[in-house]
Structure 1
Amino acid sequence: MIPGGRTATVRPEGPHLNAARTSGFGTGPLSRASALIHTLLTVQALLLLAVSPGLAGLLLLGPDPANLPLAALCLLPLGPSLAAALYALHHRSHDLTELHPAHAYLRGWRLNAVPALKLWAPLLAWLTVIAFTLTHFSATGLPGWWALLLGVIGVGSLLWGAHALVLTSLFAFRARDTARLAAYFLFRHGRATLTAASLLVLTAASTGLLTEALPALLAAPLLLSLLHGSQAVIGETRKNFTA
């Protein structure tokens, strides 16, 4: 049972995903590496295509903090797109002859778009409030330690969002149950949270030191790393909180 909630089901995999193969062709190390690269490139391309309108809008916006609400609107498609990408990567085939990443991504979008948006939109609004407050902090009259506190809350919200994104992508929970489970796993599985934190630091560092485009171009490998780091969360959820 979910803490304070109820059980749910695992997202269906679809007719073409994870199909068992009896033939040896397409299952060797080189074939598996080729299958992984093909899946990553396909998911990356579909992810960029899905968020391209929002990215174009971000490019048109200036760096003025007053544009933060508009930037949040541009980022709304990102949540469902990331959920669909996680679904496709989780259900990827290791067999070179059984690759359907585009089909998996579209199925993940259909299953996860609305559930992901129910969590992504409030999180994005909350982060926008924090960012707007920090960029106008001198006008608030609050003591300096409030800025540090808001920063910590913002980072914690992002880590919660990483767990919520994984759970939404793979399981059919109600939004409030997903929110509770994500908060529960935030401290329950410290290693998974640490993995999400390291990916967050890597994304921020690559954005600040190199270019804002780099995280977008490496989104699929970053999401695959998040999946690998969340195996304990996925395993416990499947064992204890699904019907």
Structure 2
Amino acid sequence: MTHQAGSPDPRRGVFTQATGAVYWFVVVEIAFLLAAAPGLLGILLLERSASNIPLYALCLLPVAPAYSAALSALAARQRDDDLTVWPRYWRAWVANLGDVLWVWVPVLAVAAVLGTTIAFGAAAGVDGFFVVTAGVLATMLAVFASHAIVIASLFRFRARDTARLALYYIAAKPLQSLGTVSYLLLAVALVAFTSDVVLALLGAVFAAFALANAKPMIADITARFTAAEEPGGPQ
């Protein structure tokens, strides 16, 4: 059967587009789980205890590169709807690994210190003001990390420039920062009321949320700091 000129291409129908989108999400989620598996398995084996905060930080080390590759793969979906998802994801994982770890390792180190202060501050006699301050700083650190991972996933800047841009956009795009806080709170609630497994199984969905929320930042960076290059182009 030949496709008649002027008639709708059946490959571009609503059903085909919907199933293609589902396929992308499923493949990205599977790849994310495989890439993050060492850390996710460690988290599942750890007892939910504040004394394990440093170990949780260590287990989270492979999660950010896996999440970053998911961001890159889903961003590629917005530009090109072919079905070569699997190689796209792993190319992005390799390409993003160094840039993301330069941001993620310091974030985890600071988060472990802040988390320990929040968890044990009262018992150690630390003034309540410092415990509350640690909580505020931890929230800002989470927003910073989210912005920085998106930037490192879609652009090629030096680590210090990525950090500066992430800090800048916390204040420059307050609605985006509030949106980031919202889905981070949703992630915390999922872990608190269900389990870590549920959050891991929604990794691709949260990556899609992060991309949608970061659109103003991505557009601004593309317009101001790149030379006619689409974000995620190198992948």
Tell me, in whole angstroms, the C-alpha distance in 2 between the residues paired with 1:94 and 1:87.
11
Q: 1:217 aligns with which of 179, 184, 201?
A: 201
| Contact 1:35 1:95 (8 Å CA) reproduced | no
Q: Which residue of 2 aligns with 1:180?
A: 164
1:75 and 2:60 are equivalent in the alignment: yes
User: Unpaired runs of 5+ in structure 2?
Assistant: 1-7, 228-235
Aligned-CA RMSD value: 1.6
Which amino acid is the alignment partner of residue 65 of structure 1? A
Instruction: Check whether the contact 1:35–1:94 (CA below 8 A) recurs between aligned residues.
Output: no
Provide the secondary structure at the position in 1 that maps to 2:108: helix
Q: In the alignment, is residue 128 of structure 1 matched against residue 91 of structure 2?
A: no
State whether structure 2 residue 207 is matched by structure 1 residue 207.
Answer: no
Superposition deviation, residue 198 in structure 1: 1.0
Question: Deviation of residue 95 (structure 1)?
Answer: 7.0
Do structure 1's residue 157 and structure 2's residue 153 form an aligned pair? no
- Larger deviation, residues 159-168 vs 131-140: 131-140
Matched residues in 1 for 2:128 and 2:66: separation?
A: 37
* Secondary structure of the corresponding residue to residue 62 of structure 1: coil
Could you tell me which residue of structure 2 aligns to residue 90 of structure 1? 75
Aligned residues: 220
Equivalent runs, 1:37-76 vs 2, <5 Å? 37-76=22-61
* Greater RCO, CA 8 A, separation 6+: 1
Structure 1: which amino acid aligns with 2:204? A
Residue 28 of structure 1 is matched in structure 2 by: 13
Q: What TM-score results when the alignment is normalised by the length of structure 2?
A: 0.88
* Counterpart-to-counterpart distance in 2, 1:74 and 1:136: 21
* Alpha-carbon distance change, 93 to 235 in structure 1, aligned in 2, over 3 angstroms: closer
Q: Is 1:240 the counterpart of 2:206 in the alignment?
A: no
Distance in 2 of aligned mates of 1:174 and 1:230: 20
Q: Deviations over 1:117-136 (max 9, x none)?
A: 01001001110111111221
In 2, the alpha carbon distance for the partners of 1:77 and 1:151 equals 24
Q: Give the partner amino acid of 2:214.
A: S
Please tell me whether the aligned partners of residues 190 and 198 of structure 2 are also in contact (alpha carbons under 8 angstroms): yes
- Flag the 1:95–1:81 CA change in 2: closer, same or farther, 3 A: closer
Q: How many Å apart are 1:61 and its aligned residue?
A: 2.1
8 Å contact 2:150–2:211 — kept in the other structure? yes
Deviation at 1:238, TM superposition (A): 0.5
2:12 partner SS = coil
1:17-76 Cα offsets, whole Å, 9 max, x none, are xxxxxx834222222211111111100011011111111112222233332222211110
4+ residue runs over 6 A deviation:
none
Give identity over the alignment, percent: 35
Q: C-alpha offsets along residues 155-191 of structure 1, whole Å, 9 cap, x if unaligned?
A: 1100011110110000000000000000111111122
Check conservation: 1:123, 1:161, Cα contact below 8 A: yes
Change over 3 Å in CA distance of 1:150–1:130 after alignment to 2 = same
**Shift of the alpha carbon at 1:78?**
0.7
**Contact kept in structure 2, 1:80 and 1:113, CA below 8 Å:** yes
As a proportion of its length, which structure holds more helix?
Answer: 2
Contact 2:143–2:181 (CA<8 Å) still a contact in 1? Answer: yes
